[in-house]
């Protein structure tokens, strides 16, 4: 395992969906965001699990920009599950059996949450997710807190990287 929480991020499916829907890469207004993401990916400091990729491939949204982006970035952004990550995910599920989405499990759909948290543990990375703390749910924020993994949302990521929307002069 690597030292925790430098400038490294593992990204949840919902954050990628939010980026594509509200901050599309083809809109020049959001160029700084996508330039920063591109640089972090090049540095191997932003990534996700291959299970997030599987979730994206099953995602049914308004358009397929996210699927196109995921396919184009599959090798450099999505990390395959290795034995260490698989074992960490199993350990997470033992402690938090309600973390995996039961509906997804019943239908055979992928559920990335335990693998995303395991990847963050393995890589010493923060988790970017749009999930919010909910005392009544076992979700990424609750499990990340248990494992002392830093969890931020997209706005916190933007703030950490000094990404601002400013008016042209």
- What domains does the chain contain, in order, with CATH numbers? 9-160 (3.40.50.1010)
pLDDT at 61: 67
Residue (of 2, 3, 24, 13) closest to 109 by Cα position: 13
Strand arrangement of the beta sheet that strand 9-11 belongs to:
78-79, 46-49, 9-11, 126-128, 151-152
Residue (of 55, 72, 65) closest to 13 by Cα position: 55
Q: What is the pLDDT of residues 79-128, one digit of tens each?
A: 999 999 999 999 999 999 999 888 887 887 889 999 999 999 999 999 99
Q: For residues 55 and 53, what is the distance between their CA atoms, to the nearest angstrom?
A: 5
pLDDT at 168: 67
Contact (CB, 8 A) for 12 and 47: no
- Three-class DSSP category at 28: helix
**Can you name the residues that pair with 48 across neighbouring β-strands?**
78
Q: Which two tokens stand for residue 6?
A: 């430098």
Q: Kindly give the residue spans of alpha helices, DSSP state H, lying in the chain.
A: 13-22, 31-42, 50-58, 65-72, 74-77, 83-95, 102-107, 113-123, 140-146, 154-160
pLDDT at 110: 82
Q: Is 64 exposed, middle or buried (0-12, 13-18, 19+ CB in 10 A)?
A: middle
pLDDT tens series, the chain, 169 aa: 444 556 899 999 999 999 999 999 889 999 999 999 999 999 999 999 999 999 999 877 666 889 999 999 999 999 999 999 999 999 999 999 999 888 887 887 889 999 999 999 999 999 999 999 998 899 999 999 999 999 999 999 999 998 877 666 6
pLDDT at 149: 96
Q: Which two tokens stand for residue 74?
A: 């599959």
Q: Which residues contact 61 (CB under 8 A, 6 or more apart)?
A: 17, 20, 21
pLDDT at 3: 45
């Amino acid at each position: 395992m690597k030292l925790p929480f430098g400038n490294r991020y593992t990204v949840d499916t919902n954050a990628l969906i939010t980026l594509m829907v509200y901050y599309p890469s083809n809109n020049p207004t959001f160029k700084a965001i996508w330039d920063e993401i591109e640089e972090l990916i090049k540095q191997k400091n932003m990534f996700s699990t291959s299970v997030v990729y599987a979730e994206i491939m099953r995602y049914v949204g308004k358009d397929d920009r996210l699927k196109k982006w995921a396919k184009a970035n599959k090798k450099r952004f999505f990390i395959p599950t290795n034995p260490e990550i698989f074992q960490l995910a199993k350990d997470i599920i033992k402690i938090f059996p309600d973390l995996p989405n039961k509906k997804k499990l019943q239908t055979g759909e992928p559920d990335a949450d335990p693998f995303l948290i395991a990847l963050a543990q393995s890589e010493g990375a923060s988790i970017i997710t749009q999930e919010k703390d909910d005392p009544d749910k076992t979700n990424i924020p609750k499990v990340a807190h248990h494992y002392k993994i830093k969890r931020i949302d997209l706005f916190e990521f933007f703030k950490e990287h000094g990404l601002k929307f400013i008016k042209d002069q």
